[in-house]
Amino acid sequence: MKIEIAKHQRMAETGSSLLRLIQNNDMPLLDLLVREAVQNSLDAALEGEGYVQVDFFIRDFDRSALSEHFEGIKERMNELYTNERYRLLEIRDTNTQGLTGPLQEQDLKIREYGNLIKLVYHVGIPQQKAGSGGSWGLGKTVYFRIGIGLVIYYSRIYENGTYASRLAACLVEDEEKETALLKNKGNHRGIAWWGQVSEDGNGTIPLTNESEIHKVLKVLGVKPFEGLETGTVIVIPFLRDDLRPDKAESDDEHLPNNTLQPWWESDDESYIKIALQRWYAPRLMNKSYKHGRWLKASVNGELLTQDKFLPAFRVVQELYNAAIEIGNGEKIIEGWSSPIHVTSIHLRGNFIDGSTAGWMAFVKLSSKDLGMLPPDNNYSPLVQALGKETGGELNPPLICFTRKPGMIVGYEYVGKWTEGISKTARDDYIIGLFVANSFNRLKEEYKKRDTENFSLEEYIRGCEKADHASWQDWVPNKKNPLIIEKIQRQVTRNIEGFFRKAQSNLEPQKNELLGRMLAKAILPPEGFGRLGAIQSSNRPTKQEPKKRQGKLPSISFSTAPVYVNGNVKIDFQLYTGKVSEITDLKLGIVTENGLISAYSWEKEVMGDFPAEITEIELKTADKEEQLNFHWKESDVNMNLVNPLKFNGLESLTAKKLIGVRLIKFRDRLFHGSVWIKSDDPLIRISLHTESVLEETVT
């Protein structure tokens, strides 16, 4: 094959920069590869029902026989790689369109590049198909990172009533390395292509002659497409030996011995089998998948049937099916001690087609349910999904999320998807899956510019980074809808609320005791600073009290606290004082050494603040200006009503509502009620006031 070396051009990427485009150093390369390769295949699926098949093969090839086909680097390849045989990886898909489109950019009639040009000759051109996996066009750079930078593309397509084959190769390498294949090739960027010379002689295009293509395929051991088959084969020769994660030894006696090196991390074939399950459980061998063709996959000829799934990924598929089947309610799975619970996630004010942003399916399973006991001895769901245990005596929840393509974007056990969900006992595991309502459309003020219908699917697609490993809110127009943040809050509250309710029903006496402890702990002590005195009676004070004297803000309590549905309700009277027009009413923690604010707690104690306000109501008690302010956590949005008068105060890391800022109120009196949820009844929570100088407000 003839060589074309990419020359330096203005604003052109170099090989070294392309290799750094996806800066994901947390996920093993084989995971990145499986996610990217399978998603590319699914995006290219033929219309109609059935499945897309993706097959992975790892085998040896003859180095000298391959080098004969690569003009310009034959001698260099033989010099650098002296063994006769090396490993290659073949990724083959069928029931797909293949690398369609023009052979070169000069043939473009409109800016429809086609799969060939986007995959082989360009980087950064995303899929335009609605609901596709990528929105950056950068994921394919992982192909160049798992070998020596050389990738061979073979495809068979059906266009204009005829079948045609294409074969090309591309090299992307660090041009500065001593082991560069293009070393001593002049002023180049570390990028080259191979194929046949184009008609104008200014570059290369893929081989199209079947005979020439089959010669290359024979060296690689690739079976040509035949009959009515269309699809694509990606071959990566000189496969690296360090693609799987390294495991360090551990002295932690609480970690099972078999969690340090799971069996699938012993060889690449086994790892790919697990990676396929880990990231594509919703779509893999799942004929219930509703958004196109389902996924059929094999590794070295072994088909990944559902009976070969690890337990955690069978759970994920069941959760996915339950979410799309029932929307709300329970689904009983034979052999499980608990049913799947599904709840709709509603966001107000964001969508055109109702308020449903998606569905959260979750379940609490025992180690027995998950096959962790003899004779199965499976690893925990945390090891299966994350490759590691998290340590400690309690298990954090394991939450994952997906959209229309059916790829799991990420597994979370810490962070916003799990904050506020209680950990479980060592033998129990909470596993949850959020499925986005992809077809719901965003309102006009949120939609992306120059789009007629901007769906939640397209918004979330824009939320994903180039490696598709997380969702982060963005601004498609002039206003950030904060949809992901709101979804995360609803998810954690729904799951925690469900299990708290279940626990209270099972253990009413224990819950009642907890309530008394919480109510006792949450009030400030008498005479502590300006926190006010506790009333000795449950009788409320007079309805029209006189204003308190003094310059500083203060608070007094009208009734004894009441424990209701997991929260403590406190009625109070708040005087804003005369020092400032801005007063904060907020939570803190009482210790022997004084009061610790929520901000100091999270910054210095290095943990989430253990309480939050779930509802608050304020009413003016005088005639100057009648105000009635009311906020509940079900309102979702932390930007409280009437922001010119009242602003919410959030904790730094947990982003819990821990107070309210009253703005432009001096020497004013309020009646109020607050509902507080505490994560630890043994920690004493205070409700106190503080003047804020205007110049300190940013």
3-class secondary structure per residue, 353-395: CCCEEEEEEEEEEECCCCCCCCCCCCCCHHHHHHCCCCCCCCE
Residue 574 is encoded by which pair of tokens? 């708040």
Q: How confident is the model at residue 526 (pLDDT cuts 50, 70, 90)?
A: very low
Q: Are residues 483 and 527 in the same domain?
A: no
CATH number at residue 229: 3.30.565
Domain annotation covers residue 227: yes
Cα→Cα distances 372→73, 258, 377, Å? 52, 12, 5
Q: Are residues 493 and 526 in the same domain?
A: no
CATH number at residue 640: 2.60.40
pLDDT of residue 126: 57
Beta bridge partners of 429: 365
How far is the C-alpha of 359 from the C-alpha of 356, rounded, in Å?
8
User: 33-42, 44-53, 686-695 — which is least confidently predicted?
Assistant: 686-695
331 pLDDT exceeds 90? yes
Domain annotation covers residue 275: no
Percent of the chain with pLDDT over 70: 82
663 pLDDT exceeds 80? yes
Domain annotation covers residue 513: no
Q: Are residues 379 and 455 in the same domain?
A: yes
How far is the C-alpha of 366 from the C-alpha of 336, rounded, in Å?
9
pLDDT of residue 593: 59
Domain annotation covers residue 255: no
Q: Taking a C-beta distance cutoff of 8 angstroms, is the pair 217, 69 a contact?
A: no
Domain annotation covers residue 301: no
User: 20-29, 128-137, 421-430 — which is least confidently predicted?
Assistant: 128-137
Q: Are residues 440 and 536 in the same domain?
A: no
User: 303-317, 460-474, 476-490, 609-623 — which is least confidently predicted?
Assistant: 460-474
Distance from CA of residue 223 to its chain's centroid?
37
Pairing of strands 398-402, 329-331: unpaired
Overall average pLDDT of the 252-256 stretch: 39
Domain annotation covers residue 46: yes
**Average pLDDT value over all residues in the chain:** 84
Domain annotation covers residue 22: yes
Query: Which is more confidently placed, 32 or 627?
Result: 32
pLDDT of residue 605: 56
Phi-psi category of residue 275: left, alpha or beta, with phi > 0 → left and psi -120 to 50 → alpha:
alpha
517 pLDDT exceeds 70? no
Last residue of a domain, one of 454, 483, 506: 506
Residue 648 belongs to domain spanning: 520-696
Percent of the chain with pLDDT over 90: 50
Nearest in space to 92 (alpha carbons), one of 209, 196, 236? 236
Q: Are residues 542 and 496 in the same domain?
A: no
Tell me: the pLDDT tens digits for 190-226?
999 999 999 888 899 999 999 999 999 999 999 999 9
User: 15-24, 138-147, 291-300, 303-312 — which is least confidently predicted?
Assistant: 15-24
Q: Are residues 215 and 83 in the same domain?
A: yes
Q: Are residues 383 and 420 in the same domain?
A: yes
Q: How confident is the model at residue 388 (pLDDT cuts 50, 70, 90)?
A: confident
Q: Are residues 7 and 98 in the same domain?
A: yes
Overall average pLDDT of the 474-494 stretch: 89
Provide the sign of the torsion angle of the four alpha carbons 131, 286, 378, 334, taken in this order.
positive
469 pLDDT exceeds 90? no
The three state secondary structure string of 391-450 is: CCCCECCEEEEECCCCCCCEEECCCCCCCCCCCECCCEEEEEEEEECCCCEECCCCCCCC
233 pLDDT exceeds 80? yes
Domain annotation covers residue 283: no
User: If 0-12 CB within 10 Å is exposed, 13-18 middle and 19+ buried, where does residue 102 land?
Assistant: middle
b/e 168-204 (16+ beta carbons within 10 angstroms → b): bbbbbbbbeeeebbbbebeebbbbbbbbbebeeeebb
Q: Taking a C-beta distance cutoff of 8 angstroms, is the pair 94, 87 a contact?
A: no
Last residue of a domain, one of 195, 211, 243: 243
Q: Are residues 472 and 527 in the same domain?
A: no
pLDDT of residue 383: 95
Last residue of a domain, one of 439, 474, 506: 506
How far is the C-alpha of 149 from the C-alpha of 171, rounded, in Å?
5
638 phi and psi angles, rounded to 5 deg = -75, -20
What's the DSSP call for residue 655?
A: -
Residue 679 is encoded by which pair of tokens? 């994560």
User: 389-403, 527-541, 584-598, 673-687 — which is least confidently predicted?
Assistant: 527-541
Element (H, E) at 167: strand 162-172
Residue 449 is encoded by which pair of tokens? 């510019």
520 pLDDT exceeds 60? no
Residue 140 is encoded by which pair of tokens? 């394919």
Q: How many domains in the chain?
A: 3
Q: Are residues 486 and 526 in the same domain?
A: no
Provide the sign of the torsion angle of the four alpha carbons 515, 521, 522, 524, taken in this order.
positive
Q: Are residues 75 and 202 in the same domain?
A: yes
Q: How confident is the model at residue 446 (pLDDT cuts 50, 70, 90)?
A: confident
Element (H, E) at 599: helix 598-600
Overall average pLDDT of the 277-299 stretch: 96
Q: Are residues 532 and 444 in the same domain?
A: no
